[in-house]
Structure 1
Amino acid sequence: MASLGSLAGAESSGSSASDEQYTPVSGRSVDEHLNRNPVGSLRVKTDFGTVGDQFSEDDGDVDEYNYNEGQPKFSRPRVPKYTPVEEQQIVKKLDRRLVPFLALLYLLSFLDRSNIGNAKIAGLTEDLNLSSSQYEWLLTAFYITYILFEWMTLLYRVFPPHIYISICVCGWGLVASFQSLATTFGMMVFLRAVLGITEAAFGPGVPFYLSLFYKREELAFRTGLFVSAAPLASSFASSLAWLIVKSSSDGPIAPWRTLFLVEGFPSIIVAVFAWFMIPDSPGTAAFLEPRQRMVAQLRMGDGSKPEYPGNRRRFNWSEVGKTLADPKSYITAFMFFSCNVAFSSMPVFLPTILQDMGYTPTNSQALSAPPYLLAFISVLLTSYLSDRSRSRSPYLIFHALLSSTAYTTIALAGHYHASLPTLHTLIRYICIYPATAGFFSTITLIITWSMDNRVAKEGKGASVAILNIIGQCGPLLGTRLYPEDDGPWYVSGMAVCAGFMALVAVLAAVLRGILQRANARRSSGDGDDYGSEREREVLIVGEGVVERPGERFTYII
């Protein structure tokens, strides 16, 4: 799976750049001052001091911008002044302070979502007298509400993110902990459904939130850092489950109840830190210096206007409409759907699959961790190379085919297990590694690709909403692929995952062809199917600055 400058909401508590106003240097009247020296004598007055000439119309590069000499001098476009070194320093600070914390939050959310697979073999189904069908409904209930509340992605543009995210984190922490109190199937279904609402409000919108801080050529790796928390959470959950089950097997509380409580409560504590650490926009990030906050806005195209509550731009519904009418949005969404069939099923069923291979419940918990560690490394490496080469589809197709091949091998080894009496278990376990690494890496690139070619913030948000509303229907199928009746080989479930991962590769190739043709038409000057002049200006040089001659927007393929 732009900037936050126009996000609705208040600044975070550490912010200090909220009351900007333009005032003359001397005591002369504003009209007299503008008539004599309309630009050069103005300074930006802020609560952190006076910063002058952040914009200049007298640079040596001014001629490149096709100034209209008939236009009043005060209203001509101005060129932002900041150096590449300053920009790199800002990106490094965002990488150190923002992305890791968001990854931590996603780790906690994925941990609370997927630990039900560990709870199952720790005694959940026996204590609550759950059938195989009822357990599948516990998984499905989460995704039903998760899908129905995907529209909450757009709330990142309505409420201040530091408040919104904190409430989400606290909400799923409470609900996840309350699962330890469940005594009936109905109570557990209800809690899983509420957990789906709280996590739908957070996770799907974070890549969109990141796109407001990072340029599109920087986005895949940062999204990868965020999404990589999912396999890391699965690995951590398996290791932690092994420790909890082993240490609480003779305790007063059932191991599965202890599991839900221990893994759910930390989210409540972290929610307090989220309130203070999450910035509402690049211009309100407390961990940036005053000058860095200004540059952070400029680099994302938000430097044309100072940021304060009275200067918020209205929500642009036309951009939402364009995204809804774009076939490319739906191709990406169906890729996400197909990948989610595997993405949603393996983490919650892997402990059971390993147990059916002949391992003890404790050993199954431990053996679940290593495949996700490899997936974690794969996601980071793939997203880094994708950003470096400014390319998505080659890596996406490779990982989709890799995962499909691994699932096919698992299915064949299970089907012909009689012919491989000593090898089928080893083959099936080894193939879990490329299968998980493949679909986790593919998920990362799909999410990023869906936003790469959207300019307006509302367009990015709508793209993420479509991606998730359609894509999150995949888990409705994925959570029902491994019923007990198909054990211990689960041939049909593995075959279905193999087919859907192959479909991801096919759809990625189709989308690549569409984008290549669009780029070719644009480079030849034969039509422009992208959008308005304003959209291209925002993307290429920032809002309020005229597009340079010869510069054209190109899709990332």
Structure 2
Amino acid sequence: MAAIDGNYHQLETFTPHHPLHNGTMAGDAGLTPEPASEKVENNQVEGDAAAVAAASEYVIDPAIEKRVVRKLDLHVVPMVMALYLLAFLDRSNVGNARIAGMDKDLDLFGDRYDWLLTIFYIPYILFEFQAIMWKIVPPHRWAAIVVLAWYACLPLGLDPCRGIVGAAGIFSTVQAAVHSWGAEMALRFLMGAAEAGYGPGIPYLLSFFYLRHEVGLRCGLFLAAAPLANTFSGALAFGITSGSPGIAKWRVLFLVEGLPTIVMAAVAYFYLPDSPEKAKFLTEDEQRIAKARSIRQAGAGTRIGGVDWMDFLRGLLDYKAWLTGLMYFSCNVSFASLPVFLPTILSEMGFTRAAAQGLTAPPFFLSFLVTVITPWIADRTQQRAFMLIILTIIGGVGYILLATVESVGVRYFGVFLAAGGIFPAIANILPWVLNNQGSDERRGAGIILLNFIGQCGPLLGTRLYPQGESPFFVKGQSVCAAFMFFTTFLVITLRMCLVWENKRLDREYGTIEEQRARVASSQEAGEKPSAEVAVENYGSMFRYVL
């Protein structure tokens, strides 16, 4: 059989290969594609017969594959990262609005501000099931729907006979027009319901575009948008609120930071591809490579547009998904509270309100860098547990300094440690869920369960810093420290379980080396061995990432 456009090379025999062995990469990991000796062969009934035939007879050209991955990195990752940055900015700018005068204008006395933070996460939890919609609805449509929904028009002064006669705005932007705590509560609830359809499902979406040893870095880049948003949100808020506008400064803040996302919704609709093989920015040859990668990753079944609900249910019952959900809960206690309370914490250290907004930038920029670097290291080593242990201990120590030390300089250093541990820890938990679920349905179930449990953390985290406990907020800092160390314990527990699971798989199927030796022996005898295509799905070559 002739090669297809010179991008595949025919093989007489096939030696199965999987990039993992007991949680360790076999060969170069990170961003380097699989070697050319790897063949994609189909062992499933479903799928496009032509694509399966091509994948089963040809190997992937590594040079073309590098180009495919590079183009995905240039088109898909910046899009999802930009949307999440805007989402996180609009979610957390309430902290800067508070110290810009919103607390006085809306009478945020008592625990009213805490409730503004908490109310966002109630619908964010209840609507977590929307993550599976990335598999059911074409992603470019779903992205546009949820982005427009979380910024959908909300009529003010609606007259049923005359239409909209007052101002018309969007969930985030229209916060600039509210005049009561109750109206702000309603808007925060609607924002939470809409944003639940986007951020929690993006790691799942990325798993359709990237292989098992590639997805960690991309999850890190996506999540790095959160600390990046916080890096400049304080400076941006300071710039926006430092003038003398005709309306309250905090209202200007909501207007300026909310409007850009409407434009991004349209960009997502026309720009975000539904799958790698359908990406318009790939050439026809590159689309074939992308299709072969997809078959190698998860077999020839339908990836977008269909769900095996029984397999999805099995994913919901997996104890590994529950453990990672508890990790996410523990980290989210701090993840949700630090951005919205940090301006207040810094203000209570004695800094002016303007300085407090500006001083949030350096620790969050450090967090941004660590959030990008650590998932990349974990991708290369396929050792996520060790990275998480280090990060959670660092974050916990940071909170201990904030709770126990009086020196302003040391406490500010503690902010660096806390921010540098929390956000990167989340960025390493997300790909760990994807790595250790052996089908698209189970990966989707794992992400939903992760968020359903994990997003309960902010319900606690947003209640930990009552104004009456300033300036040290000992209770809040201590609780956050305790949960960071609890995450360390959970990580160690899960790693021990995965080591046991990998040993069980070795006993059942033989080690990866033993399986390759059997294949080599059969080749020498002139036999044609069978092999798996879906190397990331459960099977004899599947091993858990430690």
Larger radius of gyration: 1
Contact 1:153 1:464 in 2 (8 A): yes
Establish whether residue 206 from structure 1 lines up as the match of residue 202 from structure 2. yes
The separation in 2 between residues aligned to 1:286 and 1:236, in whole angstroms, is: 33
For the aligned residues, what is the CA RMSD? 2.8
Establish whether residue 253 from structure 1 lines up as the match of residue 240 from structure 2. no
Establish whether residue 537 from structure 1 lines up as the match of residue 526 from structure 2. no
Q: How does 1:147-226 map to 2 (within 5 A)?
A: 147-173=125-151, 174-226=170-222
Q: Which amino acid aligns with 1:353?
A: I
> What's 2:228 paired with?
232
> What's 2:373 paired with?
381
The correspondence for 1:398, drawn from 390, 402, 412, is 390
Give the superposition deviation at 1:471.
0.3
The separation in 2 between residues aligned to 1:439 and 1:462, in whole angstroms, is: 24
> What's 1:341 paired with?
333
Establish whether residue 552 from structure 1 lines up as the match of residue 541 from structure 2. yes
* 1:282 to 1:185, Cα distance in 2 relative to 1, 3 A: same
Q: Which amino acid aligns with 1:555?
A: Y
- 1:256-288 CA distances to partner (integer Å, 9 max, x unpaired)? 000001000000011111111100111111111
* 1:303 to 1:63, Cα distance in 2 relative to 1, 3 A: closer
Contact 1:294 1:303 in 2 (8 A): no
TM-score, length-normalised on structure 2? 0.83
* 1:104 to 1:383, Cα distance in 2 relative to 1, 3 A: same
> What's 2:286 paired with?
292
* 1:135 to 1:521, Cα distance in 2 relative to 1, 3 A: same
Establish whether residue 521 from structure 1 lines up as the match of residue 516 from structure 2. no
Establish whether residue 93 from structure 1 lines up as the match of residue 89 from structure 2. no
Q: Secondary structure at the match of 1:94?
A: helix
- 1:5-47 CA distances to partner (integer Å, 9 max, x unpaired)? xxxxxxxxxxxxxxxxxxxxxxxxxxxxxxxxxxx59x9xxxx
The separation in 2 between residues aligned to 1:254 and 1:538, in whole angstroms, is: 60
Identity fraction in percent: 39
The separation in 1 between residues aligned to 2:536 and 2:355, in whole angstroms, is: 56
Give the superposition deviation at 1:166.
1.2
> What's 2:120 paired with?
142
Give the superposition deviation at 1:508.
0.2
Q: How does 1:407-556 map to 2 (within 5 A)?
A: 407-413=399-405, 417=406, 424-525=407-508, 537-540=532-535, 552-556=541-545
> What's 1:112 paired with?
90
Contact 2:137 2:305 in 1 (8 A): no
> What's 1:48 paired with?
none
Give the superposition deviation at 1:60.
2.2
Establish whether residue 102 from structure 1 lines up as the match of residue 96 from structure 2. no
> What's 2:324 paired with?
332
> What's 1:420 paired with?
none
The separation in 2 between residues aligned to 1:553 and 1:333, in whole angstroms, is: 22
The separation in 1 between residues aligned to 2:307 and 2:13, in whole angstroms, is: 34
The separation in 1 between residues aligned to 2:535 and 2:320, in whole angstroms, is: 21
Aligned residues: 478
- 1:169-226 CA distances to partner (integer Å, 9 max, x unpaired)? 2233321011111111111000000000111100000000001100111111110000
The separation in 1 between residues aligned to 2:460 and 2:304, in whole angstroms, is: 42
The separation in 2 between residues aligned to 1:396 and 1:304, in whole angstroms, is: 27
TM-score, length-normalised on structure 1? 0.81
Q: Secondary structure at the match of 1:78?
A: helix
Contact 2:297 2:533 in 1 (8 A): no
The separation in 2 between residues aligned to 1:287 and 1:172, in whole angstroms, is: 28
> What's 1:275 paired with?
269
Q: Secondary structure at the match of 1:280?
A: coil
- 1:446-467 CA distances to partner (integer Å, 9 max, x unpaired)? 1110110123111111100000
* 1:541 to 1:450, Cα distance in 2 relative to 1, 3 A: closer
* 1:438 to 1:485, Cα distance in 2 relative to 1, 3 A: same
Q: Which amino acid aligns with 1:379?
A: T
- 1:210-243 CA distances to partner (integer Å, 9 max, x unpaired)? 0110011111111000000000001121110010
- 1:295-351 CA distances to partner (integer Å, 9 max, x unpaired)? 1121121799999x9x97741012112112211110000000000000000000000
- 1:116-143 CA distances to partner (integer Å, 9 max, x unpaired)? 0000000011001111311111101100
* 1:92 to 1:365, Cα distance in 2 relative to 1, 3 A: same
Give the superposition deviation at 1:408.
1.0
The separation in 2 between residues aligned to 1:369 and 1:426, in whole angstroms, is: 16
Q: Which amino acid aligns with 1:465?
A: I
Q: Which amino acid aligns with 1:265?
A: L
* 1:135 to 1:313, Cα distance in 2 relative to 1, 3 A: closer
Contact 2:298 2:535 in 1 (8 A): no
* 1:53 to 1:240, Cα distance in 2 relative to 1, 3 A: closer
The separation in 1 between residues aligned to 2:409 and 2:298, in whole angstroms, is: 60
Q: Which amino acid aligns with 1:321?
A: L
> What's 1:11 paired with?
none
* 1:98 to 1:243, Cα distance in 2 relative to 1, 3 A: same
The separation in 1 between residues aligned to 2:57 and 2:326, in whole angstroms, is: 41
The separation in 2 between residues aligned to 1:465 and 1:305, in whole angstroms, is: 22
* 1:228 to 1:135, Cα distance in 2 relative to 1, 3 A: same
